[in-house]
Structure 1
Amino acid sequence: MSEIRDINARLGALAKALPEVAGGFRQLAKGVHAGSRFTGAQKELLAAAFGVVRGCEDCIVYHLDAAKKQGAEREDLLELLGIAVEMGGGPAMVYAAKALSAFDAGN
């Protein structure tokens, strides 16, 4: 879990350095996570899948941590990882493997 602490520390330092940008981003995230047809866990798994396609390891770890806290299931992640690989090709395959490993390890 030190990986998520490191990510949060980096984000906190950036938020202190760019408070208006960070505040705007928090408002954006708040709006995205407001009520909808998707659960919080589903939204976090989708965000992790986008992280796979974009090749952002910190995004994957951050959103998988949030998804697990909200009760995400491995089978749901696997379905989204398949779509991510379809859309992202070989690089997404590598990041999908990292995402599954992180989910299974609890990170």
Structure 2
Amino acid sequence: MDYASYLANTAANLDKVRKIEPETAAGFAAMHRAAFYDGDVSKKHKELMALAIAVAKGCTDCIGFHVRAAIKAGATRKEMTEMIAVAVLMGGGPAYMYGAHVIEAYDQMAQPA
């Protein structure tokens, strides 16, 4: 999967929803901002938590967006693979399959070291 194109398509579709349901979109954006700040738990660790939930719940769109945000917050490939292990524990075989999407997305979106 080409995650850059996939996320661009999802973002375009979300823009359509924002125009139809601006209050819902604004409420979700406010909730997102309220959750993802650097506090006692760092933004990086919050992104890894969200990513684990996305893997366990099987949300490919969420995986892409949270991999990108986790990279921006400083998460490493190894941190993501350890997160996959926890998500698989909680989500079983389906989470194992979605965990593979994390590595694919990371390898596409991370800057080479």
Same fold (TM over 0.5): yes
Q: Distance in 2 between matches of 1:84 and 1:75?
A: 14
Segments of structure 2 that go 5 or more residues without pairing to the other structure are none
**Which position in structure 2 is the counterpart of 1:105?**
108
**Which position in structure 2 is the counterpart of 1:20?**
23
The equivalent position to 1:69 in structure 2, one of 55, 69, 72, is 72
3-state DSSP class of the match of 1:37? coil
Segments of structure 1 that go 5 or more residues without pairing to the other structure are none
- Higher mean C-alpha deviation, range 88-97 or range 2-11: 2-11
AA in 2 matched with 1:53: A
Q: Distance in 2 between matches of 1:78 and 1:57?
A: 16
Counterparts of 1:1-107 in structure 2, within 5 Å, are 1-106=4-109
RMSD: 1.4
The alignment covers a number of residue pairs equal to 107
> What is the percent sequence identity of the aligned residues?
37
Q: Distance in 2 between matches of 1:35 and 1:45?
A: 13
Cα shift at 1:75: 1.3
3-state DSSP class of the match of 1:71? coil
Please identify runs of 4+ aligned residues in structure 1 that moved more than 2 A: none
TM-score normalised over the length of structure 1:
0.91
CA displacement, residues 20-68 of structure 1 (integer Å, 9 cap, x when unaligned): 1111111111110134222222212221111100000000001101111
AA in 2 matched with 1:46: M
